[in-house]
Structure 1
Amino acid sequence: MDKGYEKERFESVSLKTSVAKKFNKYCQKLSMSKSMTLLIMLEFFDENGISPAESMGPKMQTLETLVKKRINGVIAILKDIEKSQTKPTVAMMQSLFEESVPKQPPLILEKNKVEKDQPKFIERNNSES
């Protein structure tokens, strides 16, 4: 049953057999009832101001132009956000991390320190004993 239309009664519409077969296949393809398929088709034409009898050529070109303008607008907004917000924030974060990293002494000094802590061995001459 169609949601929201359960209590409505059915009306009949007369269609030619070939048209009815095409419509039935289309309804199966959409996995919708015949009433809902016809309803969404009518709403589509009404919302977009399209007549099934007129050509889609100029309408599609205008739609494509609108979409391109909006995409260009979104790109401009993203570039502005990147320039005014993202790059300065990244620079600030990098400067904070660079200052917070403790400087480690060079490894050469550590080797010298280890050598000083080790006891030195005294060599004896065998002739003295």
Structure 2
Amino acid sequence: MDSFITIRFKRKTAKRFQEFSRTHFKSHTDAMATMLAFFFYNEISPKENFGPTGRTIAVSLNTVETNLLKRLNAIIAIQRDIEKTQTKPALAMLESLFQTEEPKDKTLILEKKFIEEKKTVRFEEKRNTTNEL
């Protein structure tokens, strides 16, 4: 069995360590050994600042997301305005240029065409179908 050694800490720091150790580890020795192994393995110093924490990232992501959604809505509004004012009218003009209607054959006033009309009898005499004796 390993022997224990006494290390002097300030009371406030010792209380914080004991609370942390009780919530995450079985003993204070396991807690200290794991923390030291973490710092040695990852080759980092406990004095280094890693940047934003998970909480600050979540808060900043919410603001970034909100700003991004606002910008996306603005872009969509600009695109719709461009469609209404530029794209659709231009497309309509191009379509009208390429649509060709067959010109109606109108006879000139000076030109006279004689159309042969079929002579159809409109009225016929009624024939007497009774027998004459």
TM range (shorter): 0.3 to 0.5
TM-score by length of structure 2 reads 0.37
TM-score by length of structure 1 reads 0.38
Q: Which structure has the highest helix share of the two?
A: 1
